[in-house]
Structure 1
């Protein structure tokens, strides 16, 4: 169990029967649906856990902390297998590549890093956001990554070329969440501006936008 606030949670996508959570108590916990207690409680951080993610095998999990430290665990052995310390401030988001041994991390210092988990090193740093990166996600083909930030922007990065492909700038507030369709080049983004926007990642066009609801008395 967590003893302080829970900051983040993520389901494993293969079976959607296990969940990882990270909290203010410096813990990363593994849960199974229908089980009241944690299956596993992992420690090693010295600051609150801000982000968590499974890799595609659901044997490896990653977590980012407020200190900027990132740890990777093998949950079958319940041990840390990698520790990365390249960020100088909070690691607010992370995502594993759908096929390869790569991990993307986004920080409040505006940088996004790609790590090779086998080689234990950062292989690329992307700069473009002007404020904190709140969320990031690989596309289903593993060739791009999308990031959303407190600067109101959503950026699409080409991993092969190592550069920015497109910048969506239609939100009027920080982008706090996004998700990429598991089979198609579709993107959904949510913002403090009270809208959810849907984008075509092939043409980079806005498909639709939900305006803020208006309530009448």
Structure 2
């Protein structure tokens, strides 16, 4: 029987260690890496050489993100500085300061000229690209912010931290809406259901939890896995959630929470997952190398 999860490619991505990685969710063919060599590199899945190397940082890059059109790129550095590049013009267009410590997470708003950043300084900041500055700072986490996601409608931003808490912030009201406090270790990944008002959170506590965003109630949790949860993503049809662990891929449904399948994967530090044309793509890194992994998941589309 053919191996269900396999490595598509592996290559040296930076002259120093790779710190972060993000797959573009538009074409699902491009991804970004940030490294200890202070660079952000742009790659196409299946190609061995970088398409572009984005320079400008003077300290290691710790967070990267595409905008929804995949024409703008953010890179947050250990200095706290955030740089914005325009890929079409192949140049840096903004350098933004405000964080007092490492910028550990960046995320573009789904539409509009805004983005969010999280830092070891515990602050979540919202930036206006046109005004070239921070327009709001949300305080409330007690430890470093590890991951950020905007809701698909762009009204809320959700942050997860090393304080084990997931916070939901209302962007229009400029205030905290809710805390989710049931995880026992830091939050590594957040995803929203494509069709329902449902949030999934994956943690180093080895569980995924599902939350109703209308009632703010916990509606289910996976049993603790053998290793921590690295990255999660819903299938575009909303029927299943794919969960990347340290060494494997699990497929879940919820209400009730059921694990439908487990696939052994040889990835190292898994950083991002996406689904494209019936296949799951996972990108991981180890030291200065990046691995791209594939699993055929078309079999799961029939799950109801």
> How many Å separate the matches in 2 of 1:202 and 1:23?
39
- 1:33 corresponds in structure 2 to 45
Counterpart pick for 1:110 among 86, 106, 122? 122
> How many Å separate the matches in 1 of 2:195 and 2:28?
17
Task: For 1:1-217, list aligned pairs within 5 A.
Answer: 1-213=13-225
Give 3-state SS (helix, strand or coil) of 2:178's partner: strand
1:28 positional shift = 0.4
1:187 positional shift = 1.4
Higher RCO by CA contacts (8 Å cutoff, separation 6 or greater): 2
| Of 184-193 and 148-157, the range deviating more from structure 2 | 184-193
Q: Deviations over 1:118-158 (max 9, x none)?
A: 11011000001011101110000000000001111000000
Give 3-state SS (helix, strand or coil) of 2:163's partner: coil
1:79 positional shift = 0.7
On the 8 A contact 1:139/1:185 being kept in 2, the answer is no
Give 3-state SS (helix, strand or coil) of 1:81's partner: strand
> How many Å separate the matches in 2 of 1:49 and 1:182?
30
| Of 176-185 and 143-152, the range deviating more from structure 2 | 176-185
1:183 positional shift = 4.1
Unpaired runs of 5+ residues, structure 1, are none
Q: Deviations over 1:32-66 (max 9, x none)?
A: 12211000001111111110101111110111001
On the 8 A contact 1:140/1:184 being kept in 2, the answer is no
Give 3-state SS (helix, strand or coil) of 1:3's partner: coil
Aligned length: 214
> How many Å separate the matches in 2 of 1:138 and 1:212?
27
> How many Å separate the matches in 1 of 2:75 and 2:69?
16
Q: Deviations over 1:166-217 (max 9, x none)?
A: 0001111121222223443221112222111111112211121012147xxx
> How many Å separate the matches in 1 of 2:143 and 2:193?
26
| Of 170-179 and 41-50, the range deviating more from structure 2 | 170-179
Unpaired runs of 5+ residues, structure 2, are 1-12, 227-304
> How many Å separate the matches in 2 of 1:68 and 1:195?
30
List, as ranges, runs of 4+ consecutive aligned residues in structure 1 with deviation greater than 4 Å: none
> How many Å separate the matches in 1 of 2:164 and 2:48?
39
Q: Deviations over 1:45-103 (max 9, x none)?
A: 11111101011111101110011000000011111111101001000001000011001
